[in-house]
Amino acid sequence: MYSVYTNMLQPGPLRRRIFGLENEYGLIFSPNGRVYLPMEKVLGYIFEGLIPNSWPSNAFLVNGARFYQDTGCHPEYSTPECDNILDLVIHDKAGERLLEACLPAAEERLREEGLSGEIYIFKNNTDSLGNTYGCHENFLMRRDVDFWKVTEQLIPFFVTRQVYSGAGKVLKVSGKPQYFISQRAQHIHEKTSSSTTSSRSIINTRDEPHADAERYRRLHIIVGDSNMSEFATYLKVGTATLVLSMIEEGYTVQGMEFEDPVKAIREVSRDPTLKRKIKLDDGRQMTAVEVQRVYLDRAQEYLAQQEHDPILDDVWQRWTMVLDKLEEDPMQLVREIDWVTKRHLIQSYVDKKGCGWDDPRVFLLDLQFHDVKRTRGLYYLMESRGLIERVVEEEAVQRAMSTPPQTTRAKVRGDFIRFARAKNRSYTVDWTYLKLNGYWEETILCMDPFSAVNRRVDELVAQVAGLRFYR
């Protein structure tokens, strides 16, 4: 959903944070035989698996997350508010598991209509026609900080972050296959923009705080790839949060502006050797890894002046390790980084089969890497063989499919939905409010994303529970 910066009751260093991600998924129905089936119908059966007895286009789940249909008939899953990075990784993976769990029933419903076939759900960012769909990160910034000064310092970081957060993609350029680091980079057209489709930008200017608008504004990041790797997700969000926090606290990064950021993000993506130099405004040229090291060093200065935080320290240490290995030989990160893992997988296949990178099977491998079905997706087949570095426990992921984070607003939302369903009551829910339809149609605002309790919701639940008891 979004990530929030807060100093809580004490000024100065960061005391608590909330994180969130939105992932749009690719959807394919492969029928047994020739038949046309609108994707809306397939998505409808998937919705049935998540939201029994209804088919809304915008639904919140008992774990506090949001699941809905986005533009182009893409299922989109927004994690609930999480107050640490590991919880975010857990709930991001829970979204995959929820969609995977819907597949058997959805395919059975299709068979009942005489439409035998398989449904495929991919956690990626591009389809075979060249369309793109996103992985969005959102950060609630302090309203009193100059938004434009912050974004100018963030742009070089996001342009180069793809060296460890990219998902990898095989594309044909002038008829020849070429391996790209990032799936989203070639679809970015602006430095900043309010649009998420027609003029995608490195920094999106959408400002929907979903919290106290006098204290916060929204930073919407649509430049990143969807990650299969838990490690990559952890590092992607962790480094972005660390950099944003240090800039907000006055640890600025000056003189790193690119001459042409949009051109730079594409050039970085087209060079898996990571040797290409990018031109800066002042005439200097630096590689993407060198630019990342500037932010890494500034982050070290920032952390040295802060109260010890084991998570942020761990993010910095992993960031250091990854940049070192990327500079030496990116293939050392075959267990951790998606674009490296996929490149290794495809190269091994090409070597084994004696084919070229333009072989149709290579493009199929590229897609199958992102299949969320764990008995079929290539990423998960590698994980099952111990070839992938995990960050969280599977037990925690399974629990997060039905349990919201217990220390954020998501707990209020998830518990309210669970209660309303148990009582068979119609309800309306959004990020910042809850309402039981019918009697007591009071809209209860939940503007504090850090609060796991809401007195008015507790009173409403007690009223409804008491009424049912006395009847």
| Segment 313-346, tens digit of pLDDT | 999 999 999 999 999 999 999 999 999 999 999 9
| pLDDT (tens digit per residue) in 137-190 | 987 778 888 988 999 999 999 999 999 999 999 999 999 999 999 999 999 888
- The token duo for 371 is 């299949």
HSE-CB of 315 using CA atoms within 13 angstroms: 24
- Taking the C-alpha atoms of residue 100 and residue 284, their distance in angstroms, rounded to an integer, is 48
Contact 185, 268 (CB under 8 A): yes
Q: Dig out the tokens for 71 from the structure.
A: 């533009």
Collect all residues with Cβ–Cβ distance below 8 Å to 159 and sequence separation of at least 6. 202, 258, 261, 264, 265, 268, 278, 288, 291
In the three-class reduction of DSSP (H, G, I as helix; E, B as strand; rest coil), residue 300 is classed as helix
d(CA 35, CA 31): 7
Indicate yes or no: pTM above 0.75.
Answer: yes
Residue 335: per-residue pLDDT: 98
Instruction: Collect the ranges in the chain with pLDDT lower than 50.
Output: 1-14, 55-57, 468-471
User: Which amino acid type is present at position 138?
Assistant: N
First to last CA, the chain: 39
- Return phi, psi of residue 240, to 5°: -65, -40
pLDDT given at position 3: 39
pLDDT at res. 364: 97
Give catalytic residue positions. Answer: 70
